Amino acid sequence: MKKALIFQGGWEGHEPAEVADILAGILIEEGFNVKISDSLSTLEEDDLTTYDLIIPNWTQDKITKEQLTPLMEAVEAGTGLAGLHGGMGDSFRMETDYQFMIGGQWVAHPGNDGISYTVNILDADHPLTEGMEDFTVVSEQYYMHIDPAVKVHATTRFPVADGPYQTNGEVDMPVVWTKRWGQGKVYYNSLGHVAEIVRMPEVIALMRKGMNWATR
C-alpha cells in the first residue's frame, strides 16, 4: 500500500487541520495509508524516504535545518511532494532552499479574500487537467514569484483588484505547476484559502490528479 505523510499546522486562518483531513480523505479513496502529523518534529523523527508522498500543509512559521534537510533529501531521492495554497506555497518564508524545491513563493493577494477570478486550464488533454474546463473561484487570488523551470498547467489573469501593480499590464499567473527535484516530482496548486475552497469539485479533482501524479 502507498504511504503518505501530511504535516499540518502554522497559521490557523488557513484551517490546516480541516484541510489536511480533506486531502487525507482523497488519498484514502486512492488507496493510500495516510499519517497526519501536527508537529514538524515528525520530519526529523520519521524515515521520510519510506513515504511515497509528502503533503506540506504548514503556512508561514519556522523550520529547523534538522527538519528541513530530511524533507528535501527524501524528495531528491524520489518521494513525491504535493500541496496547495499557503500550506505549501507560503511555508517557512526565510528558507530559500525550500522555495527552490517548491518552485515558487506567495508574495501577494491583491484585493485580499472575496475576489472573483477565472482559473484557466491550459491543456484539457494533460493527465493533470484531463477533462477539466475553466472555472471561477471567489477567494484570494495568489500572486506568486515563480521558478522559470516549472511546467504550468493552469493560470489566472491579473489584474482584477486595484493596486499599483496594475501599471505593469496584464499577467497570466500560474495557479497549478509541476517540477522535478532530483528523482522526486513536485506538484503545487495555489487554490485553497480555507476548507470551503478546497472542497470545490474542481479543486478536489486537481488535487486528486496532482497527488497521484507526484507519488513515487
| β-pair partners for 176 | 154, 189
Distance CA 104, CA 96 (A): 10
Residue-wise DSSP of 6-45: EEEEE-GGG-HHHHHHHHHHHHHHTTEEEEEES-TTHHHH
Query: In this structure, how many other beta carbons lie within 10 angstroms of the beta carbon of residue 177?
Result: 26
pLDDT, one tens digit per residue, over 183-199 is 999 999 999 999 999 99
pTM comes to 0.98
* Residue whose grid cell is 502529523: 37
The predicted pLDDT at position 130 comes to: 96
Task: State the pairing for strand pair 171-181/184-189.
Answer: antiparallel
Q: Do the Cβ atoms of 46 and 160 come closer than 8 Å? A: no
User: What integer pLDDT is reported at residue 62 of this predicted model?
Assistant: 98
The average pLDDT across 48-65 equals 98
Set of cell numbers at residue 38: 501536527
Domain ranges of the chain: 2-214
pLDDT category of residue 73 using cuts at 50, 70 and 90: very high
Averaged pLDDT for residues 109-126 = 97
Is the separation of the CB atoms in 16 and 61 below 8 Å? Answer: no
Residues with Cβ < 8 Å from 161, sequence gap 6 or more?
110, 111, 112, 115, 141
* Whether the Cβ atoms of residue 46 and residue 152 lie closer than 8 Å to each other: no
| Mean pLDDT in residue range 95-121 | 98
- Report phi then psi at 203, rounded to 5: -70, -40
Q: Cell numbers at residue 55, please?
A: 503533503
5-51 tens-digit pLDDT: 999 999 999 999 999 999 999 999 999 999 999 999 999 999 999 99
Q: Which option is the CATH number for 2-214: 3.40.50.880, 3.20.20.70, 3.40.50.2000, 3.40.50.1100?
A: 3.40.50.880
Q: How many residues does the chain have?
A: 216
Phi, psi (rounded to 5 degrees) for 40 = -70, -15
Average pLDDT of the chain is: 98
The pLDDT of residue 2: 98
Residues 6+ apart with CB under 8 A from 24: 4, 6, 34, 36
* Across 56-68, average pLDDT: 98
What pLDDT score was predicted for residue 77? Answer: 98
Nearest to 74 by CA among 185, 150, 187, 179: 185
